[in-house]
Structure 1
């Protein structure tokens, strides 16, 4: 019998990935307790732009996960009782010269074989899609499957949609995992006491690397800091999610140095969001003037109209980075009853539904929706 301190499944982390795990587990009939040391979407999710991208992913396991999640986000936009500001705006990736355009075309050709819709846009048609885009660009690719949600709303509504099968406990930090005599999961320990469940999901994002280390289920998750600039509210001067071709290379890079490549998009409320930077500096929250300068310079190079627009605020967050750029999803063979759903880096919002479905099916013994071997958590056993 379930009590206040027991459940079928405990999810550690109330970001969008943890919320998706809880939602699909609840839909499968499980009773779920979700814990977070801060609040719903209080970590990486709350600092995200809400990107749902296929355009930046190489053919392979992550793209398969993204394509599944893209379909699932469309379904969720219709199923959830309240809005998540889902906007199927599409993405536009542009190249400044012919060499860059050739690289984009080759990349898109390989993506198409995996199910991505990518349409070449010649230079003389770019302004049909984005009237305020800079002149002189060589061309681009339009990705109709790219979309956006408001990430904090999405997390909150997923948790709410689970109804009374989801019990939410905020401001409660998990200080350790409870294990039985054979090393199997028995629950978690918090400052408020013990909570019991036969399964625990590590959805703690950037802070998920150490959660299970003491019981042999650690992961080499590292924070990768990023900044976003927010402009004053504007008429819809940017219609799509627009970024330069070098953004794809930055996403795939493992460099610890500061990298920046403009990603510019309008929002339903009016402000334009400008990202994205990446750097591995630990959990340093110091404002980087250089990062913001680069973002502003690159954004106005793409959209000169933004040169006279005020940036009213900036915010930053930490992406949960794993060395091979793939998340850890599913059961951990080292610790029976432990599952992971973290390490998505900057793609966690986009990949959340498929991640949640994989976790729910793993717990209930059902077939996963795709091959999860590339995401197995124990692939890092020697490095954790």
Structure 2
């Protein structure tokens, strides 16, 4: 039984995707309660670099989602406090040989047909963008639409701006349903919260929440490490990565893969990623992953060879087999909607995901075709 105190929607997950869902749902006139078993941004969001990328995505549904989010992040940057560190600094993708440049050229040409801006940078002009890059590279492409944000702060300020009631430290232990099988709320260890709709924004744990409702999403964790250097002058101006990063993002391999992504931050430290491997929720430090990242980063920026790494941290990307997130209504459980499985792109794709969910929750037209993200694509047949 719903009461006057019952929210219109419960968002489970206080990471950046859940925060964006709460923000846009509130802007569409809905009352929202956000629940999380940990703190705000305590999962994948807090372990992210804050990438807002179009440069690593080929034409298709994910790139369309990323381009929509790019515009929304620009709008949010004007509404959220400056300390979320939104920085439209652009990305630089470099190639070590002519064959790599040809591949980048073909990739950029395909992206241009759907609205991505990319500028070819010949080898003798790379130093204009990044003076500390290694010599001898074949060239690269500059992507001015790439940006960065401080993800934990962005999630916190989106939640604050939403006006949602946020309840942390409350683990959802059951999805409550009525006689018709539709959602009636959730049960937590602290009690029951009633609402006619629930949004699953639990990231890597999205499959677990789906199972609580009697549904199915094959979300798996994909572990990654980030190295953080001591504070430095701005020796890296853009988000810089080698061409093989794009292939690693698209790969479904469970084995360890590393391809350096190097970027400076407004506060000084340089962030070095990215590694990928499917090892469950094992947080064991991988010396091999860190060794590879350090070697690849110093190959791109020799100046980093004499810099101290102050710390490292691990996170789990929510991986789905087709590399597309699940965004939309659950076909088995009326009132349950999913917003998870974004892998390493959740921070960048969060605003578009939140806007789509808000439109679906209010029976309004979504801003793009949601068919490719339909959670039902993973449901087994009858």
What TM-score, normalized to structure 1? 0.98
Which residue of structure 2 lines up, in the alignment, with residue 340 of structure 1? Answer: 338
Match of 2:350 among 341, 348, 352: 352
Match of 1:180 among 178, 181, 194: 178
Which residue of structure 2 lines up, in the alignment, with residue 236 of structure 1? Answer: 234
Which residue of structure 2 lines up, in the alignment, with residue 371 of structure 1? Answer: 369
SS in 1 for 2:140: strand
SS in 2 for 1:210: helix
Cα distance between partner residues in 2 of 1:356 and 1:132: 38
Alignment of 1:23-38 (within 5 A): 23-38=23-38
Which residue of structure 2 lines up, in the alignment, with residue 295 of structure 1? Answer: 293
Report whether the alignment pairs 1:196 with 2:194: yes
Alignment of 1:232-271 (within 5 A): 232-271=230-269
Which residue of structure 2 lines up, in the alignment, with residue 149 of structure 1? Answer: 149
What TM-score, normalized to structure 2? 0.98
Which residue of structure 1 lines up, in the alignment, with residue 71 of structure 2? Answer: 71
- The answer to whether the 8 Å contact 2:173/2:212 transfers is no
Report whether the alignment pairs 1:122 with 2:122: yes
- The answer to whether the 8 Å contact 2:175/2:213 transfers is yes
* Number of positions where the alignment pairs a residue of Structure 1 with one of Structure 2: 381
How far the C-alpha of 1:80 sits from its partner, in A, is 2.1
How far the C-alpha of 1:37 sits from its partner, in A, is 0.3
Which residue of structure 1 lines up, in the alignment, with residue 217 of structure 2? Answer: 219
Which residue of structure 2 lines up, in the alignment, with residue 279 of structure 1? Answer: 277
Report whether the alignment pairs 1:159 with 2:176: no
* Gapped regions of structure 1 (runs ≥ 5): none
SS in 1 for 2:75: helix
Cα distance between partner residues in 2 of 1:278 and 1:268: 26
Once the two structures are superposed, residues 43-78 of structure 1 have per-residue CA deviations (whole angstroms, 9 ceiling, x without a partner) of 000000000000000100000000000000000000
Cα distance between partner residues in 2 of 1:253 and 1:74: 30
Once the two structures are superposed, residues 270-326 of structure 1 have per-residue CA deviations (whole angstroms, 9 ceiling, x without a partner) of 000000000000000000000000000000000000000000000010000000000
Which residue of structure 1 lines up, in the alignment, with residue 90 of structure 2? Answer: 90
SS in 2 for 1:233: coil
- The answer to whether the 8 Å contact 1:77/1:83 transfers is no
* Gapped regions of structure 2 (runs ≥ 5): none
Cα distance between partner residues in 2 of 1:258 and 1:147: 26
Large movers: runs of 4+ above 3 Å:
1-4
SS in 2 for 1:186: strand
Cα distance between partner residues in 1 of 2:282 and 2:151: 23
How far the C-alpha of 1:81 sits from its partner, in A, is 4.7
Cα distance between partner residues in 1 of 2:252 and 2:84: 32
Once the two structures are superposed, residues 96-151 of structure 1 have per-residue CA deviations (whole angstroms, 9 ceiling, x without a partner) of 00011111110110000010001100000000000000000000000000000000
Cα distance between partner residues in 1 of 2:303 and 2:3: 58
Which residue of structure 2 lines up, in the alignment, with residue 109 of structure 1? Answer: 109
Cα distance between partner residues in 1 of 2:230 and 2:213: 48
Which residue of structure 2 lines up, in the alignment, with residue 319 of structure 1? Answer: 317
Cα distance between partner residues in 2 of 1:167 and 1:215: 23
How far the C-alpha of 1:185 sits from its partner, in A, is 0.6
SS in 2 for 1:276: strand
How far the C-alpha of 1:79 sits from its partner, in A, is 1.5
SS in 1 for 2:84: coil
SS in 2 for 1:30: coil
